[in-house]
Structure 1
Amino acid sequence: MQKSLHIIALLVLTVPLALAQKSASRQEWVRIFNGKDLSGWDIKIAGLPLNDNYKNTVRVEDGMMRIAYDQYKTFDGKYGHIYYKKPFSYYRVRFMYRFVGEQTPGGDSWNVRNSGIMVHSQSAQSLSLDQTFPVSLELQLLGGLGKGPRHTGNVCTPGTQVHMNNKLQEAHCIDSDSKTYDGDQWITAEAIVLGDSIVHHVVNGDTVLTFERPQVGGGFTAPDNWQSGHFSDEAAKYWISRANTPLGEGYIALQAESHPIDFKNVEVLDLKGCTDPKALNYKSYFVKSDNTQCQYKKR
């Protein structure tokens, strides 16, 4: 009997401790796409007003957010993006994607099995009517064409610029070292975005690209180039005035640029608390590169 009581006492002490440890280490990922409808998202397609879902380009089917062009005769420059309602600064965004079918007639040749997810993006509401791409950092998604290597998880820089190894990169798109993924298979991708300091691109669990010090600048925001992005005069002046300044927060947007693509399991882990000195693991995420969820000290 005494032995049984000892076991019970031990369980009483250890079970709450185990639960507390499990709770403390839990990562609070939030599904920002609910798999049922487009609640919390705004659509902006070039040449059309906010939330005009031209020819049902963005739709929800079978738990997926689908970018589809079956109602188009020709693409006709209808570059579009769908933006989540809330901005982030320090965060991880993770999702699954797959390319399907054939490219829409009229799409640019470089957009075959080409899409992306934009991070640190300007808001949907701030885009000019005819603007083709938001000022943002693009985690570019490329599908294999059965003709040799074609990396995914690259970075492209519409209206932005980045550094690698403390050197400003002049190229608009920078290749990752990912594998090539042919066909219509599902791929898991992630961006680990730490303010204006560092960004990692992860594909199927492998870190395939890292860059630092994202800034506004280059590309569309160069004084002689902004017209190519179809900015209004007022918007162009604003972004040009911000050239070479840090880009440390913004919105998440999924891209629609002529090839059908499906997204699912779009989720975010907000890491902003890790920069707060009151957090138990203040800056541990950045120092240890682990996956610790931020927890706050009792005041």
Structure 2
Amino acid sequence: MPKRIRSCVIFFVFCCSSSGLPADPPAVTKTPPTSATVRKTVGLFNGKDLTGWQVDVPELDKNPDAKATFIVRDGLLVSLGQPAGHLITKEKYENYRLAVEYRFAAKPGNCGVLVHASTPRALYKMFPKSIEVQMNSGHAGDFWCIVEDITVPDMVNRRGPQETWGVTEGKARRILNLTDDSEKKPGEWNTMVIECVQDAVKVWVNGDLVNHGTKCTATKGQIALQAEGSEVEFCKLELTPITKLTEP
């Protein structure tokens, strides 16, 4: 796919100042973030079972014997895609960096990582209140607003006419990323890093900064993985708390 860099590119710093993003930032960079003090990284997946996670699959309400949506296979956490639902951490988190390594096991498809998740089934009786970081093949790094909101530069170009914006059913909830040229070929492993610091959320895909939003309406919550029709394998889910913010 040809490189697609949209009209506004965000200055790559680890922690945005409280005054907001610069009006005319320079180009995307692969320089790793450095402007915070972090604590010891912890694994959210132990490679053996789903300890620390809870399943929310609406189909199980009426059919408790339905096949499992989320399994552990050969040391990998696998979202089988159906029945649709979410795998949600039992713990809540704030101010952290989440590193996720994933691949679409069979063919490219749809999935996502939800941050700041709270009220279950708040949208379409399926999706928890959250900000989704899209993993849909070809669009990794888009934001989807799920009864929470976030602001990015150049919002009209990236979200559509302002009068259509919203966070509930039927509203313009998708915010396009900065580039769709960062994903690897189908079947190869991708690394997504999601950094949530105060009211800001940044996303890197394979080292490229692909999204950066501020003024998020939530700053803490659970983390969720989707099952949305496609089989996805996860080999790494690691969280690094960020405990002290410094000037870049």
TM-score by length of 1: 0.60
Residue 270, structure 1, aligned to residue 209, structure 2: no
Is residue 30–residue 267 contact of structure 1 (8 Å, CA) maintained in 2?
Answer: yes
Q: CA deviation at 1:254?
A: 0.6
Residue 198, structure 1, aligned to residue 186, structure 2: no
Question: Which one of the candidate residues 208, 211, 224 is aligned to 1:209?
Answer: 211
Is residue 38–residue 240 contact of structure 2 (8 Å, CA) maintained in 1?
Answer: no
- Alpha-carbon distance in 2 for matches of 1:26, 1:153: 23
Deviates more, 1:58-67 or 1:180-189: 180-189
Q: In the comparison of the two structures, how many residue pairs are matched?
A: 196
Q: Whose Rg is larger?
A: 1
Is residue 69–residue 84 contact of structure 2 (8 Å, CA) maintained in 1?
Answer: no
Is residue 47–residue 131 contact of structure 1 (8 Å, CA) maintained in 2?
Answer: no
Superposed counterparts of 1:10-89, under 5 Å: 27-49=39-61, 54-68=66-80, 78-89=83-94
Identity, in percent, stands at: 27
Is residue 39–residue 241 contact of structure 2 (8 Å, CA) maintained in 1?
Answer: no
Superposed counterparts of 1:94-133, under 5 Å: 94-102=99-107, 113-122=109-118, 126-127=120-121, 131-133=125-127
**Could you tell me which residue of structure 1 aligns to residue 140 of structure 2?**
152
C-alpha distance 62-214 of structure 1, shift in aligned 2 (>3 A):
same
C-alpha distance 56-192 of structure 1, shift in aligned 2 (>3 A):
same
Gap runs ≥5 in structure 1: 1-24, 70-74, 103-111, 144-149, 216-246, 275-282, 289-299
Q: CA deviation at 1:33?
A: 0.6
C-alpha distance 164-35 of structure 1, shift in aligned 2 (>3 A):
same
- Alpha-carbon distance in 1 for matches of 2:191, 2:238: 12
Is residue 45–residue 53 contact of structure 1 (8 Å, CA) maintained in 2?
Answer: no
- Alpha-carbon distance in 1 for matches of 2:60, 2:186: 32
- Alpha-carbon distance in 1 for matches of 2:99, 2:209: 13
Deviates more, 1:83-92 or 1:156-165: 156-165
Alignment-mate amino acid for residue 45 of structure 1? V
Q: Deviations over 1:65-112 (max 9, x none)?
A: 01126xxxxx5xx4210011110111111110101224xxxxxxxxx6
Q: Deviations over 1:217-270 (max 9, x none)?
A: xxxxxxxxxxxxxxxxxxxxxxxxxxxxxx111100011011111112101011
Is residue 117–residue 129 contact of structure 2 (8 Å, CA) maintained in 1?
Answer: yes
Q: CA deviation at 1:35?
A: 0.6
Alignment-mate amino acid for residue 206 of structure 1? D
Is residue 198–residue 211 contact of structure 1 (8 Å, CA) maintained in 2?
Answer: yes
Residue 173, structure 1, aligned to residue 174, structure 2: yes
SS at the partner of 1:48? helix
Q: Deviations over 1:4-41 (max 9, x none)?
A: xxxxxxxxxxxxxxxxxxxxx88511001101100110
RMSD of aligned alpha carbons: 2.6
C-alpha distance 43-54 of structure 1, shift in aligned 2 (>3 A):
farther
- Alpha-carbon distance in 1 for matches of 2:145, 2:151: 11
C-alpha distance 175-35 of structure 1, shift in aligned 2 (>3 A):
same
Is residue 87–residue 250 contact of structure 1 (8 Å, CA) maintained in 2?
Answer: yes
- Alpha-carbon distance in 1 for matches of 2:184, 2:174: 19
Is residue 45–residue 54 contact of structure 1 (8 Å, CA) maintained in 2?
Answer: no
- Alpha-carbon distance in 1 for matches of 2:38, 2:96: 15
- Alpha-carbon distance in 1 for matches of 2:41, 2:53: 18
Q: CA deviation at 1:42?
A: 0.1
Alignment-mate amino acid for residue 153 of structure 1? G
TM-score by length of 2: 0.71
SS at the partner of 2:149? strand
SS at the partner of 1:96? strand
Gap runs ≥5 in structure 2: 1-36, 160-164, 166-171
- Alpha-carbon distance in 1 for matches of 2:230, 2:38: 37
